[in-house]
């Protein structure tokens, strides 16, 4: 069973449809910690402010603990999308400092393209550039244009955790992070057409 976490943030319907189109057979949309504890794979979406999304997770009794047990202790496949990826960091620096899940070292901070022609939020298609071998090589074979909607970015403490980069003016940020069973993408695979479905398909087969 693939569990898509419902904690009041994220376009769940679009994510669910994309996962099914990519090959998922049993998608459970839930915030129930007991079901999370039985999941074979977990997807954490996220739209909006880091602090609001962190508060949404914390508001569901036992959910953060169930996620930690299943993902970190037991090592099942995890995918974080947009703010769902950012929540994997130690903290988010957005309207103050908010603790994250602390799964991958780093923090979030606002994009700084340093070009008046480039607006924040970064919205639309841009190129994700994979680093080395891995799931992006399997799915894409090289760089691909994908769809972004965000104002803040994950700044990984260890560059080795960055699985793909993206440039927005003078700001080069992590389009994806990966370590062991963890994968996070700043872009929206559910809005990225063939490239997004290819990535989801490869992840589902892990």
Active site positions, annotated = 82, 188, 190
Q: What is the Cα–Cα distance from 90 to 114, expressed in whole angstroms?
A: 26
Q: What is the Cα–Cα distance from 87 to 7, expressed in whole angstroms?
A: 13
Q: Tell me if 131 sits within 8 A of 158, measured CB to CB.
A: no
| Cis preceding-peptide flag for 121 (omega within 30 of 0) | yes
Q: Tell me if 184 sits within 8 A of 113, measured CB to CB.
A: no
Q: What is the Cα–Cα distance from 9 to 54, expressed in whole angstroms?
A: 10
Q: Tell me if 192 sits within 8 A of 148, measured CB to CB.
A: no
Q: Tell me if 160 sits within 8 A of 105, measured CB to CB.
A: no
- Burial (Cβ within 10 Å: 0-12, 13-18, ≥19) of residue 125: middle
Phi and psi at residue 14, in whole multiples of 5°?
-65, -40
Structure tokens given for 85? 């990826």
């Amino acid at each position: 069973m693939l569990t898509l976490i419902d904690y009041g943030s994220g376009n769940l319907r679009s994510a669910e449809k994309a996962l099914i189109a990519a090959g998922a057979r049993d998608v459970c949309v839930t915030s129930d910690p007991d079901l999370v504890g039985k999941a074979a794979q977990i997807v954490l979406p996220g739209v909006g402010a880091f602090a609001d999304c962190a508060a949404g997770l914390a508001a569901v009794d036992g959910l953060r603990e169930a996620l930690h047990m299943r993902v970190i202790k037991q090592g099942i496949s995890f995918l974080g999308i947009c703010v769902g990826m950012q929540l994997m960091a130690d903290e988010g620096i957005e309207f103050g400092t908010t603790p994250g899940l602390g799964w991958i070292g780093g923090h979030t901070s606002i994009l700084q393209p340093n070009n008046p022609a480039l607006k924040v939020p970064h919205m639309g298609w841009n190129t994700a550039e994979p680093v080395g071998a891995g799931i992006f090589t399997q799915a894409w074979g090289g760089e691909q244009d994908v769809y972004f909607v965000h104002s803040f970015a994950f700044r990984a403490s260890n560059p080795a955790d960055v699985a793909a980069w993206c440039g927005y003016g003078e700001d080069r940020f992590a389009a994806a992070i990966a370590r062991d069973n963890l994968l996070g993408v700043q872009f929206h695979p559910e809005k990225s057409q063939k490239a997004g479905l290819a990535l989801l398909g490869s992840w589902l087969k892990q």
